[in-house]
Amino acid sequence: MDKQLIQQCGDELYTAMLERTPVRPLTERFSDITIEDAYNISLRMLERRIESGEKIIGKKIGLTSKAVQNMLGVGQPDFGYLTDKMAFSQGEEMPISERLMQPKAEGEIAFILKRDLMGPGITAADVLAATDCVLPCFEVVDSRVENWQIKIQDTVADNASCGLFVLGDRAVDPRKVDLATCGMVVEKNGSIISTGAGAAALGSPVNCVTWLANTLGEFGIPLKAGEVILSGSLVPLEPVQAGDFMSVSIGGIGSASVRFV
Amino acid sequence: MAEAYENKLTQSQIAELAIHCENAELEAYEITKITDDFPQMTYKDAFDIQWEIRRRKEERGNKIVGMKMGLTSWAKMAQMGVEQPCYGFLADYFSVPEGGEFKFDELIHPKIEAELAFVLKDELKGPGVHIGDVLRATDFVMPAVEVIDSRYKDFKFDLKSVIADNSSSSRFMTGGQMADIADLDLKNLGVVMEINGEVVQTGAGAAVLGHPAASVAMLANMMGERGESLPAGTFIMIGAITAAVQVNKGDAFTVRYQGLGTLSGKFA
């Protein structure tokens, strides 16, 4: 794809997000679109957000479960950027009906770094050593693509289908928790809808952050001290609507809850 | 159970069905679900068949070493088309030591499940047992893996048939690290099941009836309906935290438990 087309696609997705009007899959319209094109489109979309005053506060990793990777026919995760406008606090209402179009919630573990991590050559031990704390997190993903009809290029171009997120208010030292076996329980409107454990994301959430540090390292981009890194869902995605209430609890870490309006 | 707790089968029919189900277990062959031939069967009949199988084993010199709950997740109940959990007993020869081998050829179509086991220090007797009673009466908790092996063709059954078949009980393994109940967050306790080195299932304790101890309370209450109790020292497996996973001969498994170590073994 040439520069102009990449810019056009990024602008289209940005407008789709603002106007809450989904677009046809890029992969249906541009059969030769590559994953690299898709990341460039996502950077254009991000550029528009920054121009409008949003600040980058971290990154998210997506496609971390085997089941989702198989569904999309890919063998690796993807990533997107988090901005301040996506972040909500524990106990706040999340205005999905104003901001999102086809939201789905997922429970995750968020990492806050105390040191920069610059790939390549980053190991799981480096990630643990650089992690200040981990927190429980709800990410509410959304797709700017009609009916979530996404292939890998569609979701990558769309900032890894990032929507909004809320962090729990308890931060835990990674030395205090076994991140691969910690259990997760997700409740919606008072019923338990799913359970999982850390290993559901690439064997461990630490592996996801390691992958991201090494992948970004190839482009000379570091994970920065203070950034929030959402490491990927440990449970199946759950469609949500205004009026729903959800909570997630993680063994040894804590809980987060969110009310959708 | 809306129906009255009474028998519709005769004592000789119950005895014959116990032999029918137990032989299928002992010789590892499939049978069709028994309610096809005895549609009038009640829950009491089904439990009477299970208790007759238990009596037969004890008469032969087997020891009963514990109890298990089955169909304890809402997802599993929906998947199997049943309305509530059930229980079964564990005989001495069901037990395989940690790190050991399950003999695949002794089984029909085994599946494995990651579970937790409670060991009691006080007796529990229903009705009216609640989670608090269970926590008070629990000596310790330890990891367990259950191998289920319904004797029914293709795992197709209804609740009454599965109760009569000792709730698909077949083999189990326990070990790992024991822990005091006060040191565990049982609802959020995570488990990770790997087969041949690949993560195949993850889950947390709340998958079992919302709280693992709720399963033990339900067992005590169901046993109470027959005037039976769970004596001090009873070993109780609470039901699957993960979905049951089909295994093949040669498969090796490892289940990791948050704060409770690991269990591994293989199917030889």
- Tell me if B256 and A181 make a contact (CB, 8 A cut-off): yes
Separation CA B114–CA B255 (nearest Å)? 7
For B202-223, the pLDDT digits (tens) are 999 999 999 999 999 999 999 9
Tell me: ipTM over 0.95: no
- Tell me if A197 and B191 make a contact (CB, 8 A cut-off): yes
The two structure tokens encoding residue B36: 């096809």
B139 beta partners: none
Spell out a b/e string for A45-71, using b for 16 or more CB atoms within 10 Å of the CB, else e: bbebbeeeebeebbbbbbbbbbebbee
At the second CATH level, the architecture of A57-260 is: Alpha-Beta Complex (3.90)
B77: pLDDT strictly greater than 90: no
**Chain B hits for A195, Cβ within 8 Å:** 202-207, 241
The two structure tokens encoding residue B262: 């690991």
- Report DSSP state, residue B152: B
B145 beta partners: B114, B173
The two structure tokens encoding residue B21: 């189900």
**Chain B hits for A203, Cβ within 8 Å:** 199
**Chain B hits for A252, Cβ within 8 Å:** 185, 188, 258-259
Separation CA A73–CA B152 (nearest Å)? 36
**Chain A hits for B204, Cβ within 8 Å:** 183-185, 195-197, 251
Regarding the domain with residue range B64-267, which homologous superfamily does it belong to in the CATH classification? Answer: Fumarylacetoacetase-like, C-terminal domain (3.90.850.10)
The two structure tokens encoding residue A248: 């997630």
Q: Mind telling me how many Å the CA of B198 is from chain A's nearest CA? A: 9
Q: Which residues contact A188 (CB under 8 A, 6 or more apart)?
A: A105, A238, A240, A244, A245, A246
Whether the Cβ atoms of residue B107 and residue B147 lie closer than 8 Å to each other: yes
pLDDT tens-digit profile, chain A (261 residues): 999 999 999 999 999 999 999 999 999 999 999 999 999 999 999 999 999 999 999 999 999 988 888 888 888 899 999 999 999 998 889 999 999 999 999 999 999 999 999 999 999 999 999 999 999 999 999 999 999 999 999 999 999 999 999 999 899 999 999 999 999 999 999 999 999 999 999 999 999 999 999 999 998 999 999 999 999 999 999 999 999 999 999 999 999 999 999
SS3 A136: strand
Query: Which residue type occupies A16?
Result: A
Q: Kindly write down the DSSP assignment for every residue of A151-211, as one continuous string.
A: -HHHHHHTGGG--EEEE-S--B-GGGS-TTT-EEEEEETTEEEEEEEGGGTTTSHHHHHHH
Closest CA to A109 of A248, A222, A244: A248
Task: Provide the H-helix boundaries in chain A.
Answer: 3-19, 26-29, 35-51, 66-72, 96-99, 124-130, 152-157, 205-217
Q: Mind telling me how many Å the CA of A202 is from chain B's nearest CA? A: 9
Percent of chain B surpassing pLDDT 70: 99
pTM of the predicted model, to two decimals? 0.93
Among candidates B74, B192, B203 on the partner chain, residue whose Cβ is nearest the Cβ of A180? B192
Closest CA to A83 of A130, A45, A33: A45
For B149-164, the pLDDT digits (tens) are 999 999 888 999 999 9
Phi, psi of B64 (to 5 degrees): -90, 125
Separation CA A81–CA A133 (nearest Å)? 20
